């Protein structure tokens, strides 16, 4: 059992995805641009920041742990950040973790297996479509800014999948933007400023100039990519919970907050409204 948030080997995680995403990411998924750059930006420009909401997840996981252990399904992963956040949240409550990762991308799977190996742990990995997930019951499902990646028509099936694998009295815990309209067009000058910062940080981190330039270009592709996200409204999400037989216990809109997400350009800290969401599967 760890007593603090485990340290990710983020430099190694970032190198893995930068070098291997072109061969690991399935071309039909269109995720290579995302996965190739995410960890490098998080390492070089965002200080290795973890996903937000650690205290909320710690409280939610502690309420459903059994005999000092919590079995947690991680519903998707950009890299190892969600796993590290969940492990730290559990450790802060003196709890051990049994992590189950459902992820369709081989890049994220490879990153999390590397992380687990460093920790001397084994994550139960289900590599494939989460909508077809079959696993032993879990105490909790953690979904961090995930549901918006699925088409609107598939989101009720995702919620039903979470309900199906939850044990009675288990919980779904989400940190999620809801009802977000399409964002403003990307400003080319902001992208260029961020590229310059990213390349400089890569050089300072020890990358050779050629690789630093490639990382900068990967950042440009990432920040400039199309984002066909589908953010459900609060009302629609609660309706999905009800349809899946889940009871919504908490839906708290936070005040506007700056975010350290790699999606946001260097030097630009847009304030966004996130929501903390908890739903329970009744007995």
143 domain residue, yes or no: yes
DSSP strand pairing (271-272 vs 275-280): unpaired
pLDDT in tens, 188-211: 999 999 999 999 999 999 999 999
Which pLDDT score is estimated for 80? 98
Q: Is the pTM above the cut of 0.85?
A: yes
Of 176, 261, 272, the C-alpha closest to 222 is 261
Which pLDDT score is estimated for 3? 46
Tokens encoding 237: 């999400």
pLDDT greater than 70 at residue 272: no
Other C-beta atoms lying within 10 Å of the C-beta of residue 14: 26
Q: Which single residue is written with the structure tokens 């983020």?
A: 10
Q: Could you list the residue range(s) of the whole structural domain that residue 59 is in?
A: 10-182+225-280
35 domain residue, yes or no: yes
195 domain residue, yes or no: no
Q: What is the DSSP string of 249-283?
A: EEEEEPPPEE---TTSPTT---EE--EEEEEE---
Q: Is 73 helix (H, G, I), strand (E, B) or coil?
A: strand
pLDDT greater than 80 at residue 271: no
113 domain residue, yes or no: yes
198 domain residue, yes or no: no
DSSP E strand boundaries for the chain? 69-75, 96-103, 124-127, 138-144, 166-176, 247-253, 257-258, 271-272, 275-280
pLDDT greater than 70 at residue 260: yes
Total number of domains constituting the chain? 1
pLDDT greater than 90 at residue 183: no
pLDDT grade, residue 5 (50/70/90)? confident
Q: In what helix (H) or strand (E) does residue 155 lie, and over which residues does it extend?
A: helix 155-165
194 domain residue, yes or no: no
220 domain residue, yes or no: no
pLDDT in tens, 64-106: 999 999 999 999 999 999 999 999 999 999 999 999 999 999 9
Which has more confidence, 271 or 217?
217
Residues in the chain: 283
Mean pLDDT for 209-235 is: 95
Domain harbouring 275, CATH code = 3.40.50.150
The Cα 84–Cα 54 span in angstroms is 10
Name the DSSP letter for residue 242. H
45 domain residue, yes or no: yes
């Amino acid at each position: 059992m760890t007593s603090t948030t485990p340290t990710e080997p983020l430099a190694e995680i970032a190198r893995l995805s930068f070098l291997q995403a072109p061969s690991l990411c399935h071309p039909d998924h269109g995720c290579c641009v995302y996965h190739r750059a995410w960890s490098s930006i998080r390492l070089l420009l965002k200080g290795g920041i973890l996903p937000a909401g650690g205290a909320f997840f710690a409280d939610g996981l502690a309420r459903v742990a059994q005999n000092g252990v919590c079995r947690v399904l991680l519903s998707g992963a950009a890299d190892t950040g969600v796993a590290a956040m969940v492990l730290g949240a559990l450790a802060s409550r003196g709890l051990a973790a049994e992590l189950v990762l459902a992820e369709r991308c081989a890049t994220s799977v490879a990153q999390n297996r590397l992380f687990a190996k460093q920790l001397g742990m084994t994550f139960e990995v289900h590599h494939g479509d989460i909508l077809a997930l079959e696993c032993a019951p879990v105490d909790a499902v953690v979904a961090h800014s995930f549901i918006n990646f699925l088409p609107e028509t598939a989101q009720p099936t995702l919620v039903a999948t979470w309900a199906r694998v939850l044990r009675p009295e288990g919980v779904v815990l989400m940190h999620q933007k809801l009802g977000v309209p399409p964002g403003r067009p990307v400003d080319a000058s902001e992208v260029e400023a961020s590229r310059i910062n990213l390349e400089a940080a890569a050089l300072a981190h020890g990358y050779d100039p050629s690789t630093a330039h490639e990382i900068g270009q990967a950042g440009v592709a990432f920040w400039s990519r199309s984002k066909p996200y589908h953010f459900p409204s609060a009302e629609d999400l609660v309706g999905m919970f009800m349809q899946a037989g889940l009871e919504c216990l908490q839906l708290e809109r936070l005040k506007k907050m700056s975010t350290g997400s790699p999606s946001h350009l260097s030097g630009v800290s847009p304030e966004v409204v996130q929501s903390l969401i908890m739903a329970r599967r009744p007995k």
